Each structure stands twice: as structure tokens, then as C-alpha cells.
Structure 1
Amino acid sequence: MSETIDAAVKSLNEKLEGNEFNGTAKFVIEGEGAVMVDNAGARAGDDEADVTLTADAETFHAIMTNDLDPTAAFMTGKLSVDGDMGMAMQLGSALS
């Protein structure tokens, strides 16, 4: 597992602590791997999900550090979403 994926799992778990997310999401970090998010938290993995969000490592890092709003990343094409858009919005709210 890459350091980027390890850091992503840690960051997502910190952001999701105390927030409820009912579904499954997958963050694909281009060139690094994937992180699964569900009601149990975040973990490295590449399973089926309700929604898949794909971005490069720089964009993902900017979202995790609140330097880039997930909606803005999507609107500018830096973040692609495949699957349940409502689930993506729920996850974006949980991460804010």
C-alpha cells in the first residue's frame, strides 16, 4: 500500500469521525490506488461501491485539507463521480 493511500485512510477516518455515512463510496486516487468508505469508516480497498470518486493525488489532498471544496472540484472537472450522485453529496457534506 502506498504512503498516499495510508495518509488518505487516516485523513478520511479523522474527517468522518462523528459523522454518519450510510452507503459505500470508493475514492480512486490516480496512480496510487483506492480507498473504500462506509459506515465503519475508511480502509484501503477496491470493492464495488454506490459511488466512485476519482481524482489525482493533488486534488484529493486539496479536498482533504479543505483547500478545495469537493463540489468545486467536481464542477471544474478535477473530480469525477460515477454512480449515485446523492451519495456523493452526502459524503461531501460529511467531509466538510
Structure 2
Amino acid sequence: MSETLEQAAAAMNEKLAGSEFSASAKFEIEGMGAIFLDSNGARVSDDEADVTMSADAETFQGILTGEMNPTSAFMSGKLTIDGDRGTAMQLASALA
């Protein structure tokens, strides 16, 4: 497991603390692996999810730090979404 993914999962857990995200989502980061999120928090895993979002490491980092808006990333083609887009929107709100 990549230390970078572990750090990203920890950062996502901090952002999700206190949120009511009850679905499941997965971020696939090109060339690195995946982070799975559900009501138990974020962890490095490639489990099946309600929605899978794929991006390169730079885009993912921008979304995680708040420097890039997930909707803008999607509209510009930097982020792809496969599955329930409503879940993706719920996650974007929880991470904001």
C-alpha cells in the first residue's frame, strides 16, 4: 500500500468526521490505487462502491485540499464518475 494513499485516506477521514455520508464511494487514483469511503470512513481498498470517481494524482490532490472544485474537475474531464452521480454530489458536499 502506498503511504500517499494512507495519508489521503487519513485526510479524508478528518474531512468526513461528523458528516452523514452513508453511501459508498471509491476514488481511483491513476497509477496509485483506490480509496474506499463509506459510513465507517475512508480506507485504502478497491471494494465495490455505489460510485467510482477516477482522476490523476494531481486532480485528486486538488480536490482533497479544496484547491479544485469536484464539479469543475468533472466538467473539464479531469474527473470521471461511474455509478450514482447523486452519491458523488453527496460526497462532494461532505468533503467541502
Give TM-score, length-normalised by structure 2: 0.97
Q: Does residue 82 of structure 2 align to residue 76 of structure 1?
A: no
- Give identity over the alignment, percent: 60
Q: Which residue of 1 aligns with 2:65?
A: 65
Match of 1:43 in 2: 43
Runs of 4+ in 1 over 6 A off after TM superposition: none
Matched length: 96
Q: 1:7, CA displacement in angstroms?
A: 1.5
| Paired letter, 1:72 | S
Which residue of structure 2 lines up, in the alignment, with residue 27 of structure 1? Answer: 27
Deviations 1:57-85 (A, max 9, x none): 11000011110011111010111000000
TM-score w.r.t. length of structure 1? 0.97
Query: How far off its partner does 1:15 sit?
Result: 0.7
What 5-or-longer segments of structure 2 have no aligned partner? none
* Partner deviation per Cα, 1:18-65 (whole Å, 9 max, x = no partner): 111011101001100001000010011001100000011110000111
CA RMSD of aligned residues (A): 0.6
Q: Which moved more, 1:3-12 or 1:61-70?
A: 3-12
Extract unaligned runs of 5+ from structure 1.
none
